[in-house]
Amino acid sequence: MEQGEVQKEAVFKKYARHVSSRKAQFFLDVGIHFVPGKREGPFIWDIEGKKRLINCHVNGGVFNLGHRHPEIIAALESAMRSVDIGNHHLVSKQKADLAERLAALSPKGMEYVVFGVSGGEAVDTAIKIARKATGRRGVISALGGYHGHTGLALAAGDAKYREPFLSGSPDFLQVPFNDVAALKNRLNPSIAAVIFETIPATLGMPIPDDDYYSQVKRLCAQNGSLLIIDEVQTGLGRTGRFWGISHYGVVPDMIVSAKGLGGGIYPITATILHKDLEAVFHEDPFIHISTAGGADIGCLVAQKVIEISSKDVFLQHVNDLADVFAAGMKALVLRYSKVLSAFRQKGLMCGLKTTSPDLGPLMTKACYDAGLLCIYAGNDTSVVQLLPPLIIDIPLAQEILQRMEKAIEMVEAFV
């Protein structure tokens, strides 16, 4: 065995012994014998330096700007020279500046921000605020949706993740996504909030009808319930607009942003609130805290992420890339109808719908063999998520399409 391979074997063994024996075994079983080593821009290399993958999953948006974006690294280095995580009790210039910037980029009236560390925490915060503001306990979410693995976020998610931890609760209801009648049926005076991902990633990127969110908002308002929009994957330019929900002309009560906000460099999340909701904290502004949430260092990193991803030229580039994928994938759907049945897309939030629930996992492996990191949707395994970094150039987009075609050909042999 060569030096790199020996090192990789050792990592697998140590991981199996001290992190997760079954996870290590799973990857060995499916032939994904890969440990990330060097990473740069859209690429990650195996620790032994031989295999290179184009990252078309980007951890659901964490690496929207690619790996180790030089401007983000420079922002972190400069932040480290002057600040640290800061003090979560005191007033902070960095938090105030970032909140002002996020408010300016959000729908009118959304003027306050509560910071956190993880997406789950940011969703928990949104649900806490909805409960305090309405005095109600109920939460409605989408069947097959995903909001994280922490307390309230987990309760709003699917039974598969919730039940093993006994986190189910009669206060949490689920309805089919993009079904206005189903939502109307379940809304009642106990419902504090309705929470949806703008486009549910774990459900395989179903694209909602154009008027879905205006109807959801109307129903929520009639019922006195708040609308929380989870933009953890769809935000920060992914769909070709800064927020995915802007495609639907709706002002929600809260927007949750996470993952990409930290540029893959420093974790930071934001729960952005309509200004009326800030009153939740008037009586006691210390009833919700997060020691490392909105760390001063993280705020400076996030400012750079936002500066890059809110520029018109950046968003135009996302839309140009989206056109390349639309044309290329449409042709592949026609050419390989035994494998693919549809291409779902809003900007670079894309899903390849295959013809069977068995094919998502098979495509994931075939993509890996073809040099692409693409992962099937956990709650609809017939769909492969396609989330290329937003910073790739057109030739790399074309290369991704060529590699995708190779993967589809491999899978076609099994159908």
Ligand X SMILES: Cc1ncc(COP(=O)(O)O)c(C=O)c1O
Instruction: Please report, as ranges, the residues that interact with ligand X according to CB under 6 A.
Output: 60, 118-120, 123, 146-148, 197, 201, 230, 232-233, 258
C-beta of 125 vs 223, nearer to ligand X: 125
Least distance (Å) between residue 123 CB and ligand X = 6
DSSP three-state, residue 38: strand
C-beta of 111 vs 197, nearer to ligand X: 197
Least distance (Å) between residue 269 CB and ligand X = 7
Nearest CA-CA partner of 148 in 95, 197, 99: 197
Find out whether 346 and 239 touch, Cβ atoms under 8 Å.
yes
C-beta of 146 vs 343, nearer to ligand X: 146
Least distance (Å) between residue 337 CB and ligand X = 30
DSSP three-state, residue 174: strand
Least distance (Å) between residue 329 CB and ligand X = 22
C-beta of 255 vs 315, nearer to ligand X: 255
Least distance (Å) between residue 415 CB and ligand X = 30
Least distance (Å) between residue 158 CB and ligand X = 12
Give the DSSP letter string of 333-367: HHHTTTTEEEEEEETTEEEEEESSTTHHHHHHHHH
Report the alpha-carbon angle 38-204-327, nearest 5: 80
For the sheet with 349-354, list strands across it. 340-346, 349-354, 380-386, 375-377
C-beta of 120 vs 294, nearer to ligand X: 120
Give 324's Cβ-side CA count (13 Å radius). Answer: 20
Nearest CA-CA partner of 133 in 231, 280, 294, 326: 280
Find out whether 46 and 34 touch, Cβ atoms under 8 Å.
yes
Least distance (Å) between residue 155 CB and ligand X = 13
Least distance (Å) between residue 327 CB and ligand X = 28
CA distance to 41, 256, 287, 365, per residue, from 53 (Å): 11, 30, 45, 12
Which residues contact residue 180 at a Cβ distance below 8 angstroms, ignoring those fewer than 6 apart? 212, 215, 216, 219
C-beta of 203 vs 363, nearer to ligand X: 203
Question: Rounded to an integer, what distance in angstroms lies between the CA atom of residue 103 and that of residue 275?
Answer: 10
Minimal CB distance residue for ligand X: 119
C-beta of 223 vs 233, nearer to ligand X: 233
Looking at the DSSP assignment, which residues form a beta bridge with residue 175? 142
- The 8-class DSSP code of residue 247 comes to G
Structural tokens at position 286: 């210390």
Least distance (Å) between residue 234 CB and ligand X = 8
C-beta of 293 vs 328, nearer to ligand X: 293
C-beta of 120 vs 371, nearer to ligand X: 120
C-beta of 233 vs 309, nearer to ligand X: 233
Structural tokens at position 166: 């006994």
Give 69's Cβ-side CA count (13 Å radius). Answer: 27
Least distance (Å) between residue 319 CB and ligand X = 22
